[in-house]
Structure 1
């Protein structure tokens, strides 16, 4: 049982890599980038947050550069997304379905998986709540921010609907559950993941966001 639990963060990261890679490819296709642009954007989106996490936690060389399964997962996602895009463009029956939300949904899944995985890593290393919140947020949001900057658009994190706050809420709940409750690690992990994903879906589908402060010019 312990072996299964110890591999759970890795399983989370695989899901996150796939989700963020898909969002990177879709963003590149929307901007009509060439194949190199698609590859760069997919890798940056999928691995940017994880690289920042490993650097900030001083974990040595980021795992992306030492574990070939990471780049393999990204390549699989790129090929699969491009194949699906080609299939969608060739079949009129498929084009009647609105797929405009796929980028947002893929980004939300990546946010939840990488945020949860990062929070688990900080707790395993004995970090405090502030560290847990910061690393969870920068890991979950980092890849998406880099993706949006590279395609020259306002990052989703600043777009108005709830985004970074999802990671903050999830990491705080996870830390408190570990500190004060005697619940199984798998259950706590699931709670954090569902909370981050659920909050982000509220932003995507219901337009829930943080209040905006009006600027009053002098």
Structure 2
């Protein structure tokens, strides 16, 4: 069997599996429960703390046909299509490599079309702060009055580069660096589940080096145990 990196193999499939960001996940679940769904979200914070994963889970939860306590069932057709990146209704865009006004104009055109199978058509734009100012300006009208079936989820490691005109149109969630003990505990659980022997000192060193980013910790973990 081909090796799968820990960060990918153990990527959360439910909000309850996301560590260190309970202030975000509990608020999102409550919003889903009350059907208070925003048309635009802004996830800010350091890299490797769960922003993109949370965005994908939000997209999955909102389109799940059999949710359980505001969590995706991970079994319905919609969940499986999103999990395997096989749906045209969830569009992930890298802001660093699709930052020009032409790309945003193309996005604006695609927004006009309703989702094919899903309840919502969701755009996840990572590193949104990398968009040019012209691109942000072109985005404003769409962001202000999107079709009812459209949701935008922006993620950024540098919110200060995102124009206030964009921020003010989004529901903002600030992700935090994850506590050392939380990272260490997560790595210990992974090691136990994978039947990997690793001493407590090594787990502590890895967790410190990660500096609050679980994704980095999982990468260091792979290096140490290989």
Q: TM-score range by the shorter chain?
A: under 0.3
Structure richer in helix, relative to its length: 1
Structure richer in strand, relative to its length: 2
TM-score of the two chains, using structure 2 as the length reference: 0.27
TM-score of the two chains, using structure 1 as the length reference: 0.28
